[in-house]
Amino acid sequence: MILVELKGTNIEHAAGQLAATKYNRPEYQEIKGLINANASGQLTELAFIISSAMPSRTVTRRLEDQNNIRIKGILHSTATTPIPDLRSNLR
């Protein structure tokens, strides 16, 4: 499962929104439960932020720890550039 948050520069808010979806949204939990019940293997959950801000590794780790979520990547995009293709980041 992949969670993606599109955010201008407020990375802290993006991390909080990813965590809120992962832990508090019943729809997310329902989909996760259906996948776990009907698929073989282990479910992998990935979280990405697409942002015009690029925080340091230290800031990213602090946000991950505060929100109990691991962010696979923070990818750069601005209002005038295309959103990055996530497929190359899924490995």
Q: pLDDT at position 87, please?
A: 87
The full DSSP string for 16-43 is HHHHHHHHH-HHHHHHHHHHHHH-SS--
- Helix (H/G/I), strand (E/B), else coil: 87: helix
pTM for this entry: 0.88
pLDDT tens per residue, range 68-88: 999 999 999 988 888 888 888
Q: pLDDT at position 64, please?
A: 96
Q: pLDDT at position 83, please?
A: 85
* β 46-51/2-7 pair status: parallel
* β 2-7/73-76 pair status: unpaired
Ranges of each domain in the chain:
2-89
pLDDT tens per residue, range 12-48: 999 999 999 999 999 999 999 999 999 888 899 999 9
